[in-house]
Amino acid sequence: MTEHHQTSDSHPWAELSAPQTLSLLLHELYAPVSALGSQVNRLANETLDDGERTEIIGHMRARIDDLGRLVVLLKRYLDDYPVQD
């Protein structure tokens, strides 16, 4: 996932058109959502020992953190560049 920093500088997506922003957002969402789906499938369909289960849950938490950072970045983008009605 791309590193995103909260600063007073312009938003990293500021110079992108709306379609470019959506394309980047889709690209950023794909990996963590795909990984979460795979990990949920493993939890549901495989017999796992406690260590394996703990490892999968750790990976899931990391992907959720990735999604959380992306949500914050998107909120900041919308705050800086509100949608026109």
32 burial (CB, 10 Å; 0-12 / 13-18 / 19+) is: buried
Task: Check if the beta carbon of residue 28 is closer than 8 Å to that of residue 1.
Answer: yes
Taking only the tens place, the pLDDT of each residue in 49-67 is 999 999 999 999 999 999 9
Residue-by-residue pLDDT tens, the chain, 85 positions: 444 444 557 788 888 888 898 899 999 999 999 999 999 999 998 899 999 999 999 999 999 999 999 999 999 888 887 767 6
User: Which two tokens mark 1?
Assistant: 């996932």
User: What are the residue boundaries of the structural domains of the chain, listed by start?
Assistant: 18-80
